[in-house]
A and B are shown apart, each in its own frame.
Chain A
Amino acid sequence: MIPILEARGLTKRYGKTQALAGLDLVASPGRVVALLGPNGAGKTTFVRAVATLLRPDAGTLRVDGIDALRNPAKVRQAIGLAGQFAAVEEAMTGRENLEMIGRLFGLSRKDAKAAAVRVLDQIQLTADADRLVRTYSGGMRRRIDLGISLAGTPRLLLLDEPTTGLDPGSRLQLWETIRTLVAAGTDILLTTQYLDEADRLASDIVIIDHGTVIAAGTPAELKTRAGDDMIEVHVRDAGDLPAVCGVLARIGHDPRVNVPARRASVPADDGSARLMEALRALDQEGIAVEDISLRRPTLDEVFLALTGKAPETTGSPGQPASV
């Protein structure tokens, strides 16, 4: 089977910044691949290289078997791109935007109209199809942006941080839309700074930092390596933290302490049982606990578990990443 995406030793340098430092990535068709990493990891650079918007300095890149460096025009026949910025014409309606891009994809006027109807239904915007995009909410813009890339029939859909800057409600809705596309059989490469997003949408997660792949696998594999769920204890008095650490060390490996936040956390293999255990032990020690919770590891913690070091720049939500 021809990989939908095959990158070998891809490098790209901007002045002193090494955006891609020999990136290797192979994705099979029928999969959703999430490229996960902090701001400046090289995610956007990679997507732009796949979209033939920039030319790598070295390495090879094949999209659906087509050499992206030798034959970029052919690659553009196979891809759809939805960016971080909703690049949609605001002075046109959702439907007009879809029909325009459909025709640019090479559809006849009639087919473009039909494609617009199909996509509007897929992205659940039929009711608002004939309103100008400038009246849309942030979430609706992202959905129309996503839909536009589907006006043709791309083999590979590139989604660069599809939900960055969206409120939680709109994020959930966009995830739902992306899942529908996945169910319809579109291969997707998406980039994200959020572990939960990669977890929800992708069949394969590729973690990158400093322009190279540092880990790859299914969400389940990576979570196992990252130590599953985290038990986090928030104490009233920072002086209790050493004692809390003592308790947590019996529950899992390597408890981490954040003194200013008065928190200590530890990965736990069997979350809920361990939580009870921790609670009982803390009670016995007579430590005043503000809050204790069981949560999924954050991107930082996955990084720490996989590489032994924290990412140097951690993206903050709502801030578009640039590479």
Chain B
Amino acid sequence: MADTSVITLPRDPSRAAVNRGAGLWSSSLLVAGRMVRKFARTPQLIVFTTIQSALFLLMFRFAFGGSIGTGSSLTYVNFMVPGFITSSILWAGMGAATGVAEDIDHGFVDRLRSLPIPRLAVLTGRALADMVLMVWSLATATAFGFIVGFRLTGSVTDALAAFGLCVLFGFAFEWVFILIGLLGGNAQAAQSMGLLVVPLVFLSSAYVPVASMPIGVRQFGEVQPLTPMVDAVRSLAIGPGGQALAAHSTGYYIGLSLVWTAAICVVAGFLAAWRFARR
């Protein structure tokens, strides 16, 4: 193979240049841009998550709803739709856990980690992209809610505030899912770990009033973070009429849910960053 043995060649002058790398913000945006494109160009992802979400809603609205009491004068559809919308952030977030695990498994994360960019951008880019997807799935969930008969009884400003809260909650949970993805190692493991959201969603005030749950389960339902989040969103969405029925004021639920949001964000975000740096 004489043709390849002689390989001492003049050096390319461009090699003197150093790849400085993109900064945290622009590299996060680039990583996020890739995620959003991936999502937009994988129609089965969009179709399946949308169908799943619609099925859930239809089942609770029409199959189970008739036998679930709201413990108040509130109609079940008005009780349940805010819970459905709020908990949709968790179903949407599960995709993040499998996505992170897949990127690690397939070497995409290694490629990014070998580039001259802040390594944190791999995670912040992911979080950023998933926020976009989360807003999309929240919007679909809201539209479905209105289709099955939900009517806003509070003010539009409050409703928008409720939507904004959902996005914030979603951002906090996003870090939990990123952490799950980092711990999972592969997509299947991450997906199984992600199923932890099932008790979180169903043992909350999202679909059933916590007060109606048996003792033990009820305590969990009362202290876990999704309950005040759902209560805050519901309280804002149904306005003064519904607030009179609730145990606490809207402000109390919002305050408590924001404390949870901050706590989850800090703890999960820190653990995710720590775990990622340790890889």
Contact = CB atoms under 8 A, between A and B. Distances in A.
Contacts of B106: 85, 87
Interface in A115-138: 132
Interface in B107-141: 107-108, 110-117
B245 to A, nearest CB: 47
B8 interface: yes
B4 A78 contact: no
A77 B22 contact: no
Contacts of A186: 12, 15
Contact-residue bracket for chain A:
35 or more
Most buried by B among A73, A89, A202: A89
B4 A30 contact: no
A77 B115 CA distance: 7
B115 A101 contact: yes
B37 A76 contact: no
Contacts of A80: 114
Contact of B27 (A53, A91, A104, A179): A104
B21 A106 contact: yes
Interface stretch (A6-14, A146-154, A242-250, A308-316): A146-154
Given A77-B21, A81-B110, A106-B21, A185 B10 contact: yes
B7 A31 contact: yes
B18 interface: yes
B116 A31 contact: no
A218 B113 CA distance: 32
Contacts of A84: 107
B38 interface: yes
A151 to B, nearest CB: 9
B67 interface: no
Contact of A185 (B11, B30, B34, B112): B11
Contacts of B147: none
A160 to B, nearest CB: 10
B73 interface: no
Nearest to A203: B7
Given A73-B116, A100-B33, A185-B9, A200 B4 contact: yes
B4 A83 contact: no
B73 to A, nearest CB: 49
A185 to B, nearest CB: 4
Nearest to A52: B114
B1 A81 contact: no
A103 B41 CA distance: 22
Contacts of A297: none
B219 interface: no
B52 interface: no
Nearest to A101: B115
Contacts of A100: 30, 33-34
Contacts of B117: 104
Interface in A32-55: 32, 48, 51-53
B30 A104 contact: yes
A300 interface: no
A260 to B, nearest CB: 32
Contacts of A86: 107
A152 B1 contact: no
A28 to B, nearest CB: 9
A183 B117 CA distance: 28
Contacts of A105: 19, 21-22, 115-116
Contacts of A104: 21-22, 27, 30, 112, 115-117
B157 interface: no
Contacts of B4: 179, 199-202
A51 B17 CA distance: 19
B108 A87 contact: yes
Contacts of A294: none
A185 B15 contact: yes
Contact of A76 (B1, B107, B115): B115
A180 to B, nearest CB: 12
B11 A30 contact: yes
A286 to B, nearest CB: 38
Contacts of A52: 113-114
Given A91-B37, A104-B27, A153-B17, A85 B11 contact: no
B11 A218 contact: no
A182 interface: yes
Interface string B71-105: 00000000000000000000000000000000000
Contact of B110 (A31, A87, A203): A87
Contacts of B14: 153
Contact of B111 (A148, A155, A185, A220): A148
A66 to B, nearest CB: 11
A184 interface: yes
16 contacts: A77-B20, A77-B116, A81-B111, A81-B114, A85-B106, A87-B106, A89-B38, A92-B41, A100-B30, A104-B21, A104-B112, A105-B22, A152-B19, A182-B9, A184-B9, A184-B12
Given A105-B115, A202-B4, A218-B5, 10 more contacts: A29-B11, A81-B114, A83-B110, A85-B106, A87-B111, A89-B34, A89-B38, A90-B38, A92-B41, A186-B15
7 closest A-B pairs (Cβ-Cβ)?
A: A87-B107, A152-B19, A106-B20, A91-B38, A81-B114, A85-B107, A185-B12
